Structure 1
Amino acid sequence: MSRLGRRLAFDYGDVRIGVAVCDLDGILSTPLDPLDSKNPAVMSEIEKIYNEYEPVRIYIGIPLNLSGEPSESSAKALLFAEKIKAHFACEVEMVDERLTTVSASALLTQAGVNAKNQRKLIDSVAAVAILESGLARDRR
């Protein structure tokens, strides 16, 4: 089990970066507003989030194929992870994000969110799934 402290999770995408944070005990995961991944100041925005929550660990989703092999997007997620590792002084771990967007969409649909409004929320809800996967792995 890892030490107490907040953790952040990122779901990196070409358009948006989903963001989630957990409480100090690693029990409650909350989505934050997604970031525009094309914004030249996105690392500054991430730095603000980092400074606000002071995480002990950052999880970054890695998109794998259903077979477990790297997907076309895996290299982009790994490059993003390298930038995070170089910029921040905390542990960074990759977390398998297979089907997180599918499960996030299903969750939002169950909550009554229509497809148009899901686009604004889905990345950060997927980041919550990544965060919860990372937390569960830490508990083992």
Structure 2
Amino acid sequence: MRDEPRTSSSALREPYRPLPGRPADARRAVQRKVTERCGARALACGPDAMADALLVASELATNAVLHGGGITGFDVDVDSGGVRVSVSDGSDDVPVAAAPVDERDRFLPGGRGWPLVCRLARDVRVAELPRGGKRITAVVPLG
């Protein structure tokens, strides 16, 4: 099940193929797209932009795999507004930031990815998909 782009600007783009199955695949797709757009000097990329975009893509993909039943849709685009990464999965559950410690002040595993995404991205949106599941889109600034 693949989600279809719903906005007029994204309707002109082809969805990313092949669909990433793992966070490493998502990172490679983002790196390839950012290098392509920024390497051609079409856009100016700040020194930390690539690292931030890769981390956001990795966290979104990881959450889709661990909590959403796998990646069902993926798109990456780079423009003057930043790196836009969209990852879809089959779960209707909206991500939440978990407390990093339990009631006895012991550190808990996990729960750090979503806060990282929200901190690094300028814009984060969660959209319900018509056939179930969700698409999370995060825009990481280039500079």
Fold match, TM over 0.5? Answer: no
- Which structure has more helix as a fraction of its residues? 1
Query: Which is higher, the Rg of structure 1 or of structure 2?
Result: 2
Q: Report the TM-score when normalising by structure 1.
A: 0.31
Higher RCO (CA 8 Å, separation ≥ 6 residues): 1
